[in-house]
């Protein structure tokens, strides 16, 4: 997101860029979407957040310290996409050990949640999506603060409080409202108007904050300060936690909302003991090799690592470089559909690890690749395969479910001078989460539990993503780190609901197979085939020569203005870093390097 007006604190005789920090050498927030340099790099959607990360790197912090500063700042400046009311997945490459580790900070269902939680008992029908979303029911136990604390303790060089302090200052002093912020409030105005604390914060005087005005959030500043002083227990069971539970159980409804809302607002069952029980998990990353690169991603409850990995494995059966671009994109779309069919059938929280890993075997990928017809798109939805170890082969080496809603979330990529790398995707699910700001605390709650399937989707086969007590909803978040000869080559991630998977996949294919530079790979028009009749695609993709040729192969397209908002870093020879954010999407992102 580009802030349209550079934020400065004006004091007599002095103009100081915000987030100067403690050091003498401050720099203006990086304004570009691409940066090349040395000594560490940060890419995020927001220049204030990117600047916060660079400031930490400049003052000796490592990639984890910087990533937490970026994340805490995004919780202030991008409050509709992430924050301490949400969760996410953190992937870390440690230069000293050469190992990739992950943190699963996914939101979790309360222990009272049953399989039919999203079915209206009065009608037997699933709730409409907005009815499920704007409720206490949809809020999972948040995982972001626990993730930040775990990352700081395990891999950071400073406590979490040092990331929260500067972000609290941004919340207290304010930042400039840009067009994206204004639009995100406008899009949510009806939902936000239903709740007193949300309307007070984001609809002052009944309207979204105007572009160019200063947005302050003193309640969030105080919340960050409290956690900085007292630790995350203040949240996971302490006074902040008690406020969360009250909010979920008795949503703070406005007595006379300024805008109508057609749905009943339902309470949730989260308790303080659900908050106390929250744990950050550290599953082994998913791993597969693709054309000599080692690709590491996020395991369950995310489907990101296994689905990106399975699709790459299927694509590895084709020499994409030797094919014309239309054929390469045809394989990309078909591999995505096949991998989504398997994701929908087999992947959810609690999927046994051997099952997840079986989806990433070469044998299974070979069998799936045999289904691809170079002459025509398969009719969708394609059926899932059976990863049972007995695989058919074919001589040619060339080999359904509704797409998830959601275009929210945010992604950040950080590298430091020692070679450590963080790829972190974090979210409150929809833009604006469940629409409810916790009174007096300044942050929105997530609606992540709507990532569960509301009713079974797999016919007579079990559905791996139905609600259950203490379960985590399946995610598509796909923070990915690619190594070459054991050293970082590329780190990439994106928001975008289930299109996250195809965005990460398409960027990897663009960069590794189709001869694009990283900025070109990120900027290229996107198309997303998630095992549905029609391919969701950006208008520029549909109208391109390849888009037209793909229509000739019976691919049909549903236009979507924008897909994803990626950030990435490529590790060039001799320690050079190429940091990359979106040049246009989501109002454009912000990348910077230390030198
Ligand atoms: N809730 C989504 C997921 O975890 C992400 C939402 C989005 O990116 O819009 O997959």
Q: What would the pLDDT profile of 42-51 be if each residue is shown by its tens digit?
A: 999 999 999 9
- The secondary structure of 260-277, three-state, reads CCCCCCCCCCCCHHHHHC
Mean pLDDT of all residues in 351-375 = 97
pLDDT in tens, 385-427: 999 999 998 864 443 344 454 556 899 999 999 999 999 999 9
User: Taking the mean position of all CA atoms in its chain, how far away is CA 120?
Assistant: 29
Of 241, 246, 248, 185, which is closest to residue 215 (Cα–Cα)? 185
Task: Show the tokens assigned to 281.
Answer: 């998990």
The answer to whether the CB of 408 is under 6 A from ligand 1 is yes
- What spacing in Å lies between the alpha carbon of 426 and ligand 1's midpoint? 8
Place of tokens 């045999």: 370
Q: What is the pLDDT of residue 395?
A: 61
Mean pLDDT of all residues in 53-75 = 98
Best of 139, 427, 501 to mutate for ligand 1, by most ligand atoms within 8 A of CB?
427
pLDDT in tens, 423-458: 999 999 999 999 999 999 999 999 999 999 999 999
Q: What does the mean pLDDT of the chain come to? A: 93
Position 340 pLDDT exceeds 70? yes
Q: What is the pLDDT of residue 403?
A: 46
- What spacing in Å lies between the alpha carbon of 301 and ligand 1's midpoint? 12
From residue 330, give the alpha-carbon distance in Å to each of 164, 274, 324, 327, 333: 46, 46, 10, 5, 5
13 band by pLDDT with thresholds 50, 70 and 90: very low
Q: What is the pLDDT of residue 21?
A: 34
Q: What is the pLDDT of residue 393?
A: 87
d(C-alpha 540, C-alpha 561), whole Å: 9
- What spacing in Å lies between the alpha carbon of 451 and ligand 1's midpoint? 8
The answer to whether the CB of 53 is under 6 A from ligand 1 is no
In sequence order, the 6+-apart residues with CB closer than 8 A to the CB of 199 are 192, 193, 206, 254, 257, 258
Q: Are 448 and 473 in contact (CB under 8 A)?
A: yes
Q: What is the pLDDT of residue 394?
A: 82
Of 526, 545, 551, which is closest to residue 537 (Cα–Cα)? 526
447 by DSSP, 3-state: which? coil
Position 375 pLDDT exceeds 80? yes
- List, edge to edge, every strand of the sheet that includes 421-427: 99-105, 87-94, 421-427, 410-416, 40-44, 590-593
- The secondary structure of 548-565, three-state, reads HHHHHCCCCEEECCCCCC
Q: What is the pLDDT of residue 223?
A: 98
Task: Show the tokens assigned to 253.
Answer: 């409804």
Place of tokens 């406590």: 159
Q: Are 134 and 261 in contact (CB under 8 A)?
A: yes
Task: Show the tokens assigned to 538.
Answer: 């950006």
Name the least confident of 71-85, 272-286, 398-412: 398-412
d(C-alpha 488, C-alpha 478), whole Å: 17
Q: Are 571 and 489 in contact (CB under 8 A)?
A: yes
3 band by pLDDT with thresholds 50, 70 and 90: very low
Strands (E), 436-561: 480-484, 487-493, 527-528, 535-537, 557-559
User: Taking the mean position of all CA atoms in its chain, how far away is CA 544?
Assistant: 28
Position 1 pLDDT exceeds 50? no
Q: What is the pLDDT of residue 397?
A: 45
Q: What is the pLDDT of residue 303?
A: 98
Name the least confident of 220-234, 273-287, 386-400, 522-536: 386-400
Nearest atom in ligand 1 to 408's CA: 9
In sequence order, the 6+-apart residues with CB closer than 8 A to the CB of 591 are 30, 32, 33, 34, 35, 41, 42, 43, 50, 567, 579, 580, 581
Task: Show the tokens assigned to 414.
Answer: 């950080």
Nearest atom in ligand 1 to 451's CA: 1
Nearest atom in ligand 1 to 495's CA: 8
pLDDT in tens, 127-172: 999 999 999 999 999 999 999 999 999 999 999 999 999 999 999 9
The answer to whether the CB of 495 is under 6 A from ligand 1 is yes
d(C-alpha 595, C-alpha 590), whole Å: 16
- What spacing in Å lies between the alpha carbon of 16 and ligand 1's midpoint? 37
Q: What is the pLDDT of residue 409?
A: 87
The answer to whether the CB of 143 is under 6 A from ligand 1 is no
Q: What is the pLDDT of residue 20?
A: 32
Q: Which residues does the annotation mark as catalytic? A: 409
Of 287, 308, 352, which is closest to residue 498 (Cα–Cα)? 308
The answer to whether the CB of 409 is under 6 A from ligand 1 is yes
Of 56, 108, 65, 113, which is closest to residue 87 (Cα–Cα)? 108
Q: What is the pLDDT of residue 26?
A: 41
pLDDT in tens, 166-221: 999 999 999 999 999 999 999 999 999 999 999 999 999 999 999 999 999 999 99
DSSP state of 189: H
DSSP state of 282: -
- Report which protein residue has its CA nearest ligand 1's atom 7: 497
How much is the pTM? 0.93
- What spacing in Å lies between the alpha carbon of 500 and ligand 1's midpoint? 8
Q: Are 129 and 137 in contact (CB under 8 A)?
A: no
The answer to whether the CB of 411 is under 6 A from ligand 1 is no
- Collect contacts of 388-391 with beta carbons under 8 A, ≥24 apart: 388/358, 389/358, 389/363, 391/363, 391/364, 391/366, 391/367
Best of 45, 133, 409 to mutate for ligand 1, by most ligand atoms within 8 A of CB?
409
> Other CB atoms closer than 10 Å to residue 330's CB: what's the count?
26
- What spacing in Å lies between the alpha carbon of 404 and ligand 1's midpoint? 8
The answer to whether the CB of 47 is under 6 A from ligand 1 is no
Place of tokens 């923070």: 479
φ and ψ of 466, to 5 deg: -90, 155
Nearest atom in ligand 1 to 405's CA: 9
- Report which protein residue has its CA nearest ligand 1's atom 2: 497
φ and ψ of 152, to 5 deg: -60, -45
Tell me the percentage of the chain whose pLDDT exceeds 90. Answer: 92
- What spacing in Å lies between the alpha carbon of 410 and ligand 1's midpoint? 9
Residue 108's DSSP bridge partners are 141
The answer to whether the CB of 497 is under 6 A from ligand 1 is yes
Tell me if the bond preceding 297 is cis, omega within 30° of 0.
no
Of 452, 402, 414, 469, which is closest to residue 56 (Cα–Cα)? 414
Q: What is the pLDDT of residue 407?
A: 55
Q: What is the pLDDT of residue 29?
A: 58
Position 82 pLDDT exceeds 80? yes
The answer to whether the CB of 501 is under 6 A from ligand 1 is no
DSSP state of 47: H
């Amino acid at each position: 997101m580009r802030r349209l007006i550079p934020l400065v604190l004006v004091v007599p005789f002095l103009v100081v860029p915000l987030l100067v920090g403690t050091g003498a050498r401050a720099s203006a927030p990086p304004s570009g979407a691409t940066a090349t340099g040395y000594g560490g790099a940060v890419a995020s959607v927001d220049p204030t957040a990117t600047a916060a990360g660079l400031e930490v790197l400049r003052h000796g912090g490592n990639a984890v310290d910087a990533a937490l500063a970026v994340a805490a700042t995004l919780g202030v400046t991008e409050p509709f996409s992430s924050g301490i009311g949400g969760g996410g997945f953190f992937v870390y490459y440690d230069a000293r050990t050469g190992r990739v580790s992950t943190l699963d900070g996914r939101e979790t269902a309360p222990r009272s949640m049953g399989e039919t939680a999203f079915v209206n008992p009065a009608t037997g029908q699933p709730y409409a999506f907005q009815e499920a979303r704007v409720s206490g029911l949809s809020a999972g136990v948040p995982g972001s603060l626990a993730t930040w604390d775990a990352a700081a303790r395990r891999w950071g060089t400073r406590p979490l409080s040092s990331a929260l302090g500067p972000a609290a200052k941004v919340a207290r002093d304010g930042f400039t409202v840009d067009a994206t912020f204004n639009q995100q409030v406008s899009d949510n105005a009806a939902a936000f108007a239903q709740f007193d604390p949300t309307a007070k914060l984001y609809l002052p005087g009944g309207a979204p904050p105007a572009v160019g005005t200063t947005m302050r959030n003193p309640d969030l500043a105080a919340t960050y300060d409290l956690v900085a002083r007292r630790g995350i227990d203040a949240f996971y069971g302490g006074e902040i936690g008690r406020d969360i539970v009250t909010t979920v159980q008795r949503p703070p409804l406005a007595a006379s909302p300024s805008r109508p809302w057609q749905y009943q607002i339902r309470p949730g069952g989260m308790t303080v003991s659900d908050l106390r029980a929250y744990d950050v998990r550290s599953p082994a990353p998913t791993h597969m090799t693709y054309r000599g690169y080692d690709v590491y991603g996020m395991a369950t409850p995310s489907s990101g690592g296994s689905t990106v990995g399975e699709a790459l494995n299927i694509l590895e059966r084709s020499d994409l470089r030797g094919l014309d671009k239309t054929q390469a994109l045809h394989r990309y779309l078909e591999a995505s559909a096949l991998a989504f069919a398997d994701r929908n059938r087999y992947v959810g929280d609690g999927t046994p690890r051997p099952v997840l890993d079986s989806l990433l075997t070469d044998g299974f990928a070979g069998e799936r690749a045999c289904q691809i017809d170079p002459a025509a798109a398969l009719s969708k939805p394609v059926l899932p395969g059976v990863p049972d170890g007995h695989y058919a082969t074919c001589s040619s080496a060339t080999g359904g479910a509704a797409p998830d809603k959601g275009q929210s979330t945010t992604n950040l990529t950080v590298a430091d001078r020692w070679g450590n790398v963080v790829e972190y995707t974090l979210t409150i699910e929809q833009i604006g989460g469940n629409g409810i700001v916790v009174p007096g605390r300044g942050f929105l709650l997530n609606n992540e539990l709507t990532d569960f399937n509301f009713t079974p989707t797999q016919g007579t086969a079990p559905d791996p993503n139905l609600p259950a007590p203490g379960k985590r909803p399946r995610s598509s978040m796909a923070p990915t780190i690619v190594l070459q000869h054991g050293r970082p080559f590329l780190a990439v991630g994106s928001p975008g609901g289930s299109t996250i998977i195809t965005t990460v996949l398409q960027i990897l294919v663009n960069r590794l197979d189709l001869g694009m530079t990283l900025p070109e790979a990120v900027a290229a028009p996107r198309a997303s085939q998630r095992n549905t009749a029609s391919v969701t695609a950006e208008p520029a993709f549909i109208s391109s020569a390849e888009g037209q040729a793909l229509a000739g192969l019976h691919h049909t397209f549903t236009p979507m203005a924008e897909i994803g908002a990626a950030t990435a870093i490529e590790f060039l020879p001799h320690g050079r870093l190429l940091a990359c954010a979106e040049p246009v999407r989501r109002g454009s992102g912000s990348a910077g390097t230390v030198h």
